[in-house]
Structure 1
Amino acid sequence: MNNFYLLDIEFEYGGQKQVITPVLLQDERDTILVDCGYPDFVPLLADAASRHGIRLDSLTKLIVTHHDMDHIGSLAALKRAYPGIEIIAHEMEAPYIEGAKKALRLEQAESTFDVLPAEAKPHAQQFIRFLQSIEPSSVDRTAASDERLPWCGGIDIVHTPGHTLGHISLYLPASKTLIAGDAVVIEDGKLDIANPQYAWDLKEAVRSVKRLLDYEIEQLICYHGGLFRGDVKQSLRQLIHAYK
């Protein structure tokens, strides 16, 4: 049976209260963190982990669902603090995480800058500078679609592109739990596509939601929204229908 812990982290960003939910997986050999928040979130991660009696210095691995700034912002800092951590990401995401390719959000922000109204440009410039400041980090191991990682009772890599090219979700067969990353989010108690207007490929994102129906999911964890309360498969079907 998998032991997993939701690290609900509350913070302010852009003047608004937000919550993200990284996940800790643990067995007798490994402590695995899934995603790690914005830059400078190491103390927040440590506090959240300590609420479950877990120390960050026990981390052995860190799985990245995709390269957005709120998922990898503290990756390099964690690797510096705990150099023994093994960083794992999908093979398509690794070049973005390592800085070999420009982040998709940065490409989007730069490509739309010139058509913005003058009053919107200062904020856009600030956002571009923030994206440029995200520190890259090496990826120690790349994971392939449909691969089963052998830790914590087995972790299935579910390639769920759309939000980004190499976005992954993680399925824990022992507990029938899906860690969705940003494949889906919870908005007002319902499942939705994460920021559909900024998706790398919205149609692909919807196809990825359809792919989740192949799994027997009893518990669904969203990075934005936490643990979903409701009928998972019915809610996924309703989401797919909403984007037809």
Structure 2
Amino acid sequence: MEVADGIYEFSGVSNFYIVLDKEIFVIDTGMPGNADKIIKYLEKELHHEPKDIKTIVITHHHFDHTGSLDKLKKITGAKVAINGEDAEYLTDEKSQAGSAFMVPLIKLLNFIYRIKPVKPDIILGEGDHVGDYQVIHTPGHTPGSICLYNPITKVIFTGDNLQYADGKIKGPGSRLIPEPEQYKKSIEKLGELDIEVILTGHGKPVTSDANKKLAEYIKNL
């Protein structure tokens, strides 16, 4: 579970994280049903109370990253932070964009799981900070996709911008990149950073040769 010092990963349909920083925060919440899992681990393994989680950071508005957000917010009282370009999807003021297959599927899942809209407390922009982590706005996958980068530990959370499998960094796939030019610019911006650990929204963590592997991916974009 501990993928880097003070960082605990939960995997499932998507990856989500507890981060012990200046304060405790959570990055994404996975599918519905994960709130209790997060709280149980926090209490039994990390010896903290639910109220110790101060912020829930959402890397982007997609269902598999926000499914447990409403419940986790109610349990912890934490503030919800998201980029402004994705905020209205979280509140249901904007409808889910996507393919003719995905949009009805998301609506059906929302109905089945009774997902409730959540109003963000914090709007994150380029250069803002959550603890020691710098917010990097990386549109392309969604308009408000963000990464969180710690220049001290050289750890970056990339949400769905990157995946890692079979020893290679990949993207989310062309069908999930509605703005390919924006996406390319976003990933090239990440390539300028000094990175040692990449923690993704799907797939395994990158814990060695992170910059080299990222450069190889960017070269083929």
> Which category of TM-score, normalised to the shorter sequence, fits these structures?
0.7 to 0.9
Aligned to 2:198: 220
State the partner residue of 1:22: 16
Structure 1 runs (4+) deviating above 3 angstroms are 47-57, 123-128, 131-134
CA distance 1:134–1:189, change in 2 (3 Å): farther
Query: Residues 220 and 125 (structure 1 numbering): CA distance in 2 closer, same or farther, change over 3 Å?
Result: closer
- 1:161 corresponding residue in structure 2: 139
Residues 1-26 of structure 1: CA distance to partner in whole angstroms, max 9, x if unpaired? x953222234xxxxxxx5x3312222
The secondary structure found in structure 1 opposite 2:202 is coil
Equivalent position amino acid for 2:34 in 1: F
Cα deviation for residue 48 of structure 1 reads: 4.1
Q: Which runs of 5+ in 1 are unaligned?
A: 11-17, 114-122
The whole-number CA distance in structure 1 between the counterparts of 2:182 and 2:151 is 24
- Paired positions, count: 215
Q: Does 1:241 align with 2:207?
A: no
Q: What is the aligned counterpart of 2:58 among 53, 64, 67?
A: 64
Task: Confirm or deny: 8 A CA contact 1:61 1:85 kept in the other structure.
Answer: yes
Match of 1:130 among 109, 131, 138: 109
Shift in Å, 1:126: 4.8
For 1:60-92, what per-residue CA distance to the aligned partner results, in whole angstroms no more than 9, with x for missing partners?
11111110011111111112222x211111111
RMSD of equivalent CA atoms:
2.3
Aligned to 1:145: 126
Bigger Rg, which one: 1
Gaps of 5+ in 2: none
* Mapped pair 1:41 → 2:34: yes
| Counterpart check, 1:207 vs 2:185 | yes
Aligned sequence identity (%): 22
- Contact kept, 8 Å, 1:24 with 1:32, in 2: the verdict is yes
- Give me the TM-score of the superposition, normalised by structure 1: 0.79
2:85 partner SS: coil
Q: CA–CA distance in 1 between the matches of 2:40 and 2:124?
A: 29
In the other structure, the counterpart of 1:118 is none
Offset of residue 131 of structure 1:
4.3
